Structure 1
């Protein structure tokens, strides 16, 4: 029998929590593989011939790299996209599918890698993503980026990591102003990690309840709440739908953007088309800062 600790959803059995958060199982292996192939194919198509600077080391401590895509004349606003994969899969190479659409709208894209679990702790992964923001702020102008117009977004685990750039208390240590992240768009994110301590992912990320709480954007102070669009797919996992609703309420942005007809994996692929609700929301957000 599970020991309950009081977080929302903790009354569920371990099997029920797995159903709520195991979106790969929900999709099934065939559909999941098709989605991953689309990530790779759409990213390759998006960056083919696009101006930019791939493979830049942004963090000397880890040696991790990022790609800059879609630069043009003068510094451009930048969308920094953090990939998902439950902190233990995927890379920047499958995660640039929005770069051409944004380039055509006068916006650059930055896609960082981060060291995957279990080689890195979740605390270290958070540090690396924040270091990527710091790199854009310090060095972006040299690469055609506007360091005063950084918008961060991410999907799934990348939505969690986006949330960890939205909260306060970390910027000064990296020499950043409190408003370095001007706006954010987490998609199908995890904002309270305490349920993760009881699902299969924790065999890899190894969280206890105290560490999970300390890494939960929903539970952390945010003196400054930057403009944000909090989005989720209509056919997402129940845990992601509930967490998105709760984070939207917490952040004060109103009801989340629920994208009809999409699931946990294909919702972000709407960013390849400027006419979708996802793209319109992102473009409006970037243009507002």
Structure 2
């Protein structure tokens, strides 16, 4: 199998090159409404920052969204509009950036996201839900693992993780061209693949993936759901780039999975 092709998304999505500028425009417009505290530090690094969005009233809790990009690209600024669904439901939303490869390895990114979740949770009371997309889905899943780098009091508050189109088994990526920058080896794959790490007791999980995604991503999602014995949802008519759109809709099934019964 050609694993570079298996994990390529853009070539199989019509108009793929139009999505990043569309995301950037929507995110910039959303940030202008005055509900965002931008660029809050969770560490000394240039990308160790998060944006915090506040609902109109006292927050019911905190949702954290972690962006994707194969740990190689993008940042928090591209996704601000995806906070709309949780904000409308009365939840605060934190969106962190993190140091990308090759400057950081994936294990270091996991540590950074743990610090980001802890910093955001220190500013918002109540339960915490962590979600993320693609590589961010991997990092969201890591926050649900028993060894997640979270302070004990914050770990107790992280009641649910919802990885969206996650990369749960990192081994196949060792055979892709991306690994020239990711620098994955067998030791890091074992330590950083959520599918083969125990889920933390008391932390619920639900895996989400688009029905029109590449077979590799459908396999990754199913693998995580099976290994963690948690539900998974195949969202109809969604591909890898639009599977996150429902985060902006407070009435969507994805938002119900994230925030209902908390």
User: Fold conserved (TM > 0.5)?
Assistant: yes
* Residue of structure 1 aligned with 2:253, choices 268, 271, 277: 277
C-alpha contact 1:191 1:243 (8 A) present in aligned 2: yes
Structure 2 equivalent of residue 217 of structure 1: 194
Quote the offset at 1:61 in angstroms: 5.7
- Determine whether 1:99 maps to 2:99: no
- Determine whether 1:186 maps to 2:163: yes
- Determine whether 1:267 maps to 2:240: no
Residues 58 and 234 (structure 1), Cα distance of their counterparts in 2 relative to 1, 3 Å cut? same
Q: Which moved more, 1:53-62 or 1:125-134?
A: 53-62
Taking the aligned partners of 1:224 and 1:88, their CA distance within structure 2 comes to 31
Quote the offset at 1:38 in angstroms: 2.4
Structure 2 equivalent of residue 118 of structure 1: 102
Residues 203 and 248 (structure 1), Cα distance of their counterparts in 2 relative to 1, 3 Å cut? same
Quote the offset at 1:270 in angstroms: 2.0
C-alpha contact 2:159 2:202 (8 A) present in aligned 1: no
Alpha-carbon RMSD across the aligned residues, in angstroms, is 1.9
Residues 38 and 270 (structure 1), Cα distance of their counterparts in 2 relative to 1, 3 Å cut? farther
Quote the offset at 1:20 in angstroms: 1.9
Taking the aligned partners of 1:90 and 1:226, their CA distance within structure 2 comes to 28
TM-score (norm. length: structure 1)? 0.84
Taking the aligned partners of 1:98 and 1:77, their CA distance within structure 2 comes to 17
C-alpha contact 1:129 1:161 (8 A) present in aligned 2: yes
Q: Summarize deviations over 1:242-281 as a string: whole Å, max 9, x none.
A: 0101111122223x11111111011101222233332333
Q: How does 1:81-96 map to 2 (within 5 A)?
A: 81-96=65-80
What stretches of structure 1 of length at least 5 have no aligned partner? 1-12
C-alpha contact 1:134 1:176 (8 A) present in aligned 2: no
- Determine whether 1:164 maps to 2:150: no
C-alpha contact 2:196 2:227 (8 A) present in aligned 1: no
C-alpha contact 1:47 1:100 (8 A) present in aligned 2: no
**Count of matched residue positions in the alignment of Structure 1 and Structure 2:** 262
C-alpha contact 2:84 2:250 (8 A) present in aligned 1: no
SS for the counterpart of 1:263 is: coil
Structure 1 equivalent of residue 261 of structure 2: 288
What stretches of structure 2 of length at least 5 have no aligned partner? none
Residues 190 and 94 (structure 1), Cα distance of their counterparts in 2 relative to 1, 3 Å cut? same
Q: Summarize deviations over 1:16-55 as a string: whole Å, max 9, x none.
A: x223211133336xx2221212221222233321423111
Structure 2 equivalent of residue 234 of structure 1: 211
Q: How does 1:140-179 map to 2 (within 5 A)?
A: 140=123, 145-146=124-125, 148-171=126-149, 174-179=151-156
- Determine whether 1:136 maps to 2:113: no
- Determine whether 1:33 maps to 2:9: no
Residues 216 and 243 (structure 1), Cα distance of their counterparts in 2 relative to 1, 3 Å cut? same
